[in-house]
Amino acid sequence: MSTAKESLEIEQLRAALAAERAARQRTQRELDLRNAALDAATTHFMILDALDPGQPILYVNRALATNHGYSGPEALIGKSVSVLLDAGLDPEQRDEICHALRERDKARLEVEFRRRDGGRFLVGFTRTPLYDAHGVVTHYVVLGADITLKRESERERERMAIELRVAQKLESVGRLAAGLAHEINTPIQYVSDSVYFLRSAFDECTALSAAYRAALTSFPPTTQTEEVVARLEQLEAASDLEFLKQEVPKAFERTLEGADRVAGIVRAMKEFAYPDAVEHSPADINHALETTLTVARGEYRYAAAVATEFGALPPVVCNVGELNQVFLNLIVNAAHAIHDSGKDAHTGRIQVSTRTEGDLAHIEIADNGCGIDATHLDKIFDPFFTTKEVGRGTGQGLAIARSIIVDKHAGRIDVHSTPGRGTRFIVRLPIRGRKAVPEAA
């Protein structure tokens, strides 16, 4: 009897063990399916131990591990989550991220990570706490994704929108400048013509006066002629005729020079703000720089002296109107940097030079201003990044300059700067235009 009972119990035990093994196998299959599904996802998934101060990684999917440059999840499991943070992060930013990861509440963050190979990528993620029955946080679930391309796409749309607004503004300014140039040009022409007429008339009057004096002194001396000559000498002394003969011609020359200068500024303004060519066509880069320097003179005249060293450049296939915007921005930035360094027109210097480098036109704009901090150098071409005070800079100029040079002209723009000593921008443009540059270049 007892043997039958024992056999029954053994059978029941075996059945229970078999059921348990089946349950474990089902659970394992479900876990394997979950892991496979999570590993197949491009989304980042991670579970952290909240009870351990180092927050070790209990689970991580393959997408997160490989995006950070690891061979697989096993290379991260058991390690502190801090190994994923960029060692080069600013200490305050690093502390801010660590603090957010330790918070009990749900957190949303966007963090730029550095891969093990040095590449950077942007991740947006949420970190959600898990509680036990007593309300204690036992784990954190981190869910995120690589949003680098998304942000770059947003920045590109933002940049294009900025460029469109700037282009529309420049078009309006161009129309206004063309109208103003015409309005200014007409009276300036009147002034020039009138000064030429007055100079000619003064020369003729001076010659006539000399002829009258010569005629009077040629008559035989009589009381009457002596009185006339004496009276004439009094009038000449009262009017300071000798002084007028010397200074009036100089005044005419200064006036004509000023009128010519105004006319030159008007021409430069028309060329700069309302260029004839919209599409890419051969253009004189040296002349474009001269025009831009004329237009920008109000920005640098009290800050720096400008020195130019223009080499012999062949016509460059480009949109010269767009390049004018780049040159203007670089020259104005140079003037501001010199002003911020405390220099003036006697000690500040802007050097503008050009030359050819094989198939490239090399344009260099350098200053001896305050320079750019090394931590800012890799950001100066980012939209809206600026170190200038509010109202003096929008952070759009260099971003648009880079877009014009690199994207629209297949060129290159580089910057070299030393804080306290100055900055040098180098623009390189393909002389035969963007179509001459191979796709892979």
Percent of the chain residues topping a pLDDT of 90: 29
Which residue type is seen at 129?
A: P
Give the mean pLDDT of 220-233: 76
| Domain 41-146 falls under CATH 3.30.450.20 | yes
What does the pLDDT average to over 242-267? 83
- The structure tokens 């690589």 sit at 146
- pLDDT higher than 90, residue 361: yes
Q: What's residue 391's pLDDT?
A: 46
pLDDT > 70: percent of the chain = 84
Question: Which residue bears the tokens 């150098």?
Answer: 377
| Contact residues for 418 (Cβ-Cβ < 8 A; gap 6+) | 371
Which of the four pLDDT bands, split at 50, 70 and 90, describes residue 84?
confident
Record the pTM. 0.50
Average the pLDDT over 52-71 and give the result: 90
Burial class from Cβ neighbours inside 10 Å (0-12, 13-18, 19+) for residue 426 reads middle
- Residue 6 falls in which region: left (phi positive, over 0), alpha (psi -120 to 50) or beta: alpha
pLDDT band at residue 440 under the 50/70/90 scheme = very low
Structure tokens at 9: 């119990």
Residues 139/49, Cβ–Cβ less than 8 Å = yes
**Residue pLDDT, tens place only, 156-193:** 777 677 666 666 666 656 666 666 666 677 788 888 88
pLDDT of residue 365: 97
Q: Which residues contact 430 (CB under 8 A, 6 or more apart)?
A: 317, 359, 360, 361, 409, 410, 411, 436, 437
Over residues 36-57, the pLDDT tens digits come to 777 778 889 999 998 988 889 9
- Distance separating alpha carbons of residues 273 and 292, to the nearest angstrom: 10
* Residue 190 Cα distances to 183, 193, 196, angstroms: 12, 5, 10
Identify the residue with better confidence: 41 or 360. 360
The tokens for 120 are 């950077």
Pick the residue with more confidence: 270 or 357?
357
User: How far apart are the C-alpha atoms of 4 and 12, rounded to whole Å?
Assistant: 12
Measured between alpha carbons, how far is residue 11 from residues 3, 14, 15, 22 in Å? Answer: 12, 5, 6, 16
pLDDT at 423: 95
Instruction: Using the predicted structure, report yes or no on whether residue 354 has a pLDDT greater than 90.
Output: yes
The SS3 assignment for 47 reads strand
Summary mean pLDDT of the chain: 82
Angle at 307 between CA 304 and CA 310, to 5 degrees: 150
Tens digit of pLDDT for each residue in 130-141?
A: 999 888 989 999
The number of beta carbons lying within 10 Å of the beta carbon of residue 102 is: 14
Residue 427 binned pLDDT confidence (cut-offs 50, 70, 90): very high
Kind of pairing between the strands at 360-367 and 349-357:
antiparallel
Tell me which of 88 and 59 has the higher pLDDT.
Answer: 59
Q: Which amino acid is at 308?
A: T
Q: How confident is the model at residue 212 (pLDDT cuts 50, 70, 90)?
A: confident
- Counting Cα atoms < 13 Å in the Cβ hemisphere of 351 gives 14
Structure tokens that stand for 404 in this block: 């014009």
Say if residues 39 and 61 touch (Cβ distance below 8 Å). Answer: yes
Q: Is 87 helix (H, G, I), strand (E, B) or coil?
A: coil
Q: Quickly state the pLDDT bin for 388 (edges 50, 70, 90).
A: low
Range list of β-strands (E), 271-359: 281-283, 305-310, 316-318, 349-357
Task: Give the CATH H-level superfamily of domain 275-441.
Answer: Histidine kinase-like ATPase, C-terminal domain (3.30.565.10)
Give the span between the Cα atoms of 188 and 317, in whole angstroms: 34
The residues with which 139 forms a beta bridge, in sequence order, are 49, 130
E strand or H helix at 40: helix 2-40
Report whether 68 contacts 115 (CB < 8 A): yes
pLDDT digits (tens, 9 = 90+) for 302-353: 999 999 999 999 999 998 888 988 998 899 999 999 999 999 999 999 999 9
C-alpha span between 348 and 369 (Å, rounded) = 7
Residues ≥6 apart with Cβ < 8 Å to 291: 268, 271, 272, 324
* Selection from 61-75, 83-97, 162-176, 177-191 with the highest mean pLDDT: 61-75
CB 346 within 8 A of CB 302: no
| Domains in the chain: boundaries | 41-146, 149-272, 275-441
Q: Please, are residues 344 and 314 in contact by the beta-carbon 8 Å criterion?
A: no
pLDDT value of position 166: 64
Smallest CA-to-CA distance from 60 within 37, 38, 28 is with: 38
β-pair type (412-418, 57-60): unpaired
- By C-alpha distance, which of 323, 306, 279, 321 is closest to 428? 323
